[in-house]
């Protein structure tokens, strides 16, 4: 009797041990299958490039970000730079430029750039710690620019050098305005912005305070004037005023003016003369 009970207990023990062993094997198989599934899932996940201030991959987001710059207004920022160093990739050209005492890099769609030549560009998207795989280097600061143009090819011609700027301003005279008819009265900036087409090609008078000035770019001075209500009009003139001056201008109004290379204005007063 004792032997039967002992044998029965042994069988139960063996069964329990076998059952636990099988459970462990099944668990190991399940874990292995889950591991394989996880690996496959990770490999099939889409690669996402996150654009931030510390860009680590340039070529993919660069095209998109350069395209964004094209919609920005030239009026916000005009630059005259001299090319000092040129680096080319398959799609882009990096140019180390100087602007007065500043030195920095710009990136633009691939094109021929001549060292020592003067170029114009507008706006630009500033990127810091910008890594280039092609050159295996990080640019501390680079400006993504939609387009640049050689000053010799620009319809505005060469920019006057700082030493000749004053003489150029005194000698320059408005051109192609003799046929423009004067409205004979001063037009409010707000009215010009709202109904510019009504004054297209006409000589008009407008007054405002100079809030921004860029001198001798494309052989002319560029001013932003406002009427106290933040209505802003761009004016080009051979005459010189400074930021903070209140002045009256008389010039010819142009609509959808395109200077080339993205230099486009919906409304601009050209070849204006100043009377403070």
Contacts of 174-182 with C-beta under 8 Å, sequence gap 24+, read: 174/238, 174/251, 174/270, 174/271, 174/272, 174/273, 175/271, 176/252, 176/271, 177/203, 177/251, 177/252, 177/271, 180/252, 182/250
Lowest mean pLDDT among 18-32, 213-227, 252-266: 18-32
Enter the pTM of the model: 0.48
Q: Give the mean pLDDT of 230-252.
A: 93
User: How confident is residue 229, by pLDDT bands cut at 50, 70 and 90?
Assistant: confident
User: Tens digits of per-residue pLDDT, 11-59?
Assistant: 455 555 565 566 666 666 655 555 444 444 444 333 322 334 444 545 5
Please give the pLDDT value at position 263.
67
Q: What's the confidence (pLDDT) of residue 251? A: 96
């Amino acid at each position: 009797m004792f032997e039967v009970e002992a044998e029965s207990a042994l069988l139960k023990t063996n069964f329990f041990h076998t059952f636990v062993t099988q459970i462990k094997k099944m668990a190991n198989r399940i874990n292995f299958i889950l591991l394989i599934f996880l690996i496959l899932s990770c490999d099939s996940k889409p690669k996402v490039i996150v654009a931030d201030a510390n860009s680590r991959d340039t070529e993919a987001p660069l095209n998109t970000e350069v395209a964004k710059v094209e919609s920005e207004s030239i009026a916000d920022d005009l630059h005259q730079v001299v090319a000092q160093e040129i680096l080319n990739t398959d799609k882009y050209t990096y140019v180390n430029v100087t602007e007065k005492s500043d030195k920095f890099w710009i990136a633009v769609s691939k094109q021929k750039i001549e060292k020592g030549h003067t170029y114009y560009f507008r706006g630009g998207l500033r990127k810091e710690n910008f890594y280039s795989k092609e050159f295996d280097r990080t640019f501390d600061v680079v400006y993504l620019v939609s387009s640049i143009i050689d000053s010799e090819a620009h319809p505005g011609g060469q920019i006057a050098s700082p030493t000749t700027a004053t003489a150029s301003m005194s000698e320059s005279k408005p051109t192609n305005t003799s046929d423009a008819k004067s409205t004979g009265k001063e037009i409010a900036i707000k009215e010009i912005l709202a109904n510019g087409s009504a004054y297209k090609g006409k000589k008009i008078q407008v007054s405002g305070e100079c809030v921004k000035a860029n001198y001798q770019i494309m052989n002319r001075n560029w001013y932003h004037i406002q009427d106290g209500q933040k209505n802003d009009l761009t004016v080009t003139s051979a005459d010189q005023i400074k930021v903070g001056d209140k002045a009256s201008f008389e010039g010819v109004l142009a609509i959808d003016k395109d200077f080339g290379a993205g230099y486009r204005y919906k409304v601009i007063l050209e070849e204006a003369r100043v009377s403070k």
